[in-house]
């Protein structure tokens, strides 16, 4: 396995290896953003569920431990203030998601660029050879296609993680809206 990887590194050009390095960085960023945001949003959702239950069961006062309670503080409550709080909380929860979207849309193109460069380099190697058979070209092209496969691999994870986080943010928003509606109704 290690020999195969070392052989791949030796036979491919700097651009193809740079593309694979960039895609590796993309994958690390994607996983890091997902784990960080998933844990953060899940924690916020649990906090808002507890706050909503407190509003429903106990009284119409805002729980000071909820995100809304921390945002509002001791200010007089108004519809505008609560809507501003909701927008701010959702904007904060959705920060970083644009990177997931960017990575999922650009990774396949970066991989394709690496493949095209790899194929061009392989054709340049065979330019001075009078007869080239399919058995000679096929391994070189298949090695070049690794970059496209890597780009698609990264894009699949970035897109999936983006969708999971988007759904979690929607869930968070429903709990925040429910609290705002209860507060405004005077429960």
Which portions of the chain are predicted below pLDDT 50? Answer: none
Angle at CA of residue 156, ends 151 and 158, nearest 5°: 95
What is the Cα–Cα distance from 173 to 58, expressed in whole angstroms?
Answer: 22
Q: At what angle do helices 134-185 and 2-11 cross, to 10 degrees?
A: 100
Block residue for tokens 């906090």: 47
pLDDT at 33: 96
The tens digit of pLDDT for each residue in 61-85 reads 677 777 887 877 777 888 888 898 8
What is the Cα–Cα distance from 88 to 105, expressed in whole angstroms?
Answer: 27
pLDDT at 87: 92
Contacts of 101 (CB under 8 A, 6+ apart): 158, 162
CA 91 vs. chain centroid, Å, equals: 16
The tens digit of pLDDT for each residue in 46-63 reads 999 988 888 888 765 677
Domain of 95? 2-185
CA 136 vs. chain centroid, Å, equals: 39
CB-CB contact of 151 with 24 (8 Å): no
pLDDT at 171: 96
Total structural domains in the chain? 1
pLDDT at 59: 64
């Amino acid at each position: 396995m290690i020999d195969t990887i070392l052989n791949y590194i030796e036979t491919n050009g700097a651009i193809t290896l740079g593309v694979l390095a960039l895609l590796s960085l993309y994958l690390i960023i994607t996983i890091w953003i997902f784990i960080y945001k998933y844990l953060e949003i899940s924690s916020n959702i649990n906090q808002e569920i507890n706050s909503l239950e407190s509003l429903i069961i106990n009284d119409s006062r805002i729980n000071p431990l909820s995100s809304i309670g921390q945002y509002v503080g001791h200010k007089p409550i108004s519809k505008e203030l609560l809507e501003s709080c909701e927008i701010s909380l959702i904007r904060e929860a959705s920060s970083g998601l644009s990177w997931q979207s960017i990575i999922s849309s650009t990774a396949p193109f970066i991989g394709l660029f690496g493949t095209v460069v790899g194929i061009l380099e392989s054709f340049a190697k065979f330019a001075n050879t009078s007869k080239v058979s399919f058995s000679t070209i096929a391994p070189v092209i298949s090695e070049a296609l690794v970059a496209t496969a890597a780009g698609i691999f990264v894009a699949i994870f970035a897109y999936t993680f983006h969708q999971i986080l988007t759904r979690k943010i929607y869930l968070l928003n429903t709990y925040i809206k429910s609290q705002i509606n209860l507060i405004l109704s005077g429960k």
